[in-house]
Amino acid sequence: MSAPNTSATDTAAPGTDTELPDPGPADADSLVEAAGDDDTDGPADDLLVREGDVAGDYLERLLDILDVDGDIDLDVEGDRASVAIVGGRLDDLVGADGAVLEALQELTRLAVAQSTGVRSRLMLDVGGYRARRRADLTSLAAETAGRVSQSRQPERLAPMNPFERKVVHDVVAGVAGVHSESEGEEPNRRVVVLPDR
């Protein structure tokens, strides 16, 4: 696979947002209708399907290069494309604490953004890792929120990536008498569960 052609305007300092526009209101806030409701797809549907297709092609080429067996499942969940690599021995694509998976997701998002011209919020899962992690974090967040509700003492959780923090925040938001905040800087940003005042 050859390196993509880049010009001087294609390379920006890490963390800058000058290259790709954020999705517009129609892309970011549109509801995705269930398949079969309508014969025509809206602009958000088309973009999410295109993101999934581009991501699937990119990941298939990567799996071929790495000589790793795996199938690509494409879906749309809410307002983002969802791509999963399933089957085979995929532990190397997850890495310790999902570090390789996070890097692979970022590379896939960049490939999608290069093709579509719009920043992607695509979610990648490998071997069901994110699904298992979501279940574990849901239990952890519910238990922590219950303890904080009883003790009225805040609790700080271990550092987490943005996906993991969002899972925790969503669970805590559903528990009466407590709320959550994030504190710290990446990669040590963590969730704090606090009692309501």
User: 171 by DSSP, 3-state: which?
Assistant: helix
pTM of the full predicted structure?
0.69
Phi, psi dihedral angles at 195 (to 5 degrees) = -75, 145
Phi-psi region at 108: left, alpha or beta (left = phi > 0; alpha = psi -120 to 50): alpha
For every one of its 197 residues, what pLDDT tens digit does the chain have, with 9 covering 90 and above? 444 444 433 434 444 444 444 444 444 333 333 333 444 456 677 889 999 999 999 999 999 999 999 999 999 988 899 999 999 789 999 999 889 999 999 999 999 999 999 999 999 999 999 999 999 999 999 999 999 999 999 999 999 988 899 999 999 999 999 999 999 998 899 999 999 98
Give the integer Cα–Cα distance in Å for 99 and 25.
32
Q: Are residues 193 and 183 in contact, defined by beta-carbon separation less than 8 angstroms?
A: no
Domains of the chain with CATH codes: 25-127 (3.30.300.20), 130-195 (3.30.1370.50)
Give the integer Cα–Cα distance in Å for 61 and 57.
6
Phi, psi dihedral angles at 105 (to 5 degrees) = -60, -45
Cα of 13 vs its chain's centroid, Å: 22
Beta-strand pair 71-77/80-86:
antiparallel
What are the residues whose beta carbons fall under 8 Å from the beta carbon of 168, sequence distance 6 or more?
137, 140, 141, 157, 160, 180, 191, 193
Element (H, E) at 194: strand 190-195
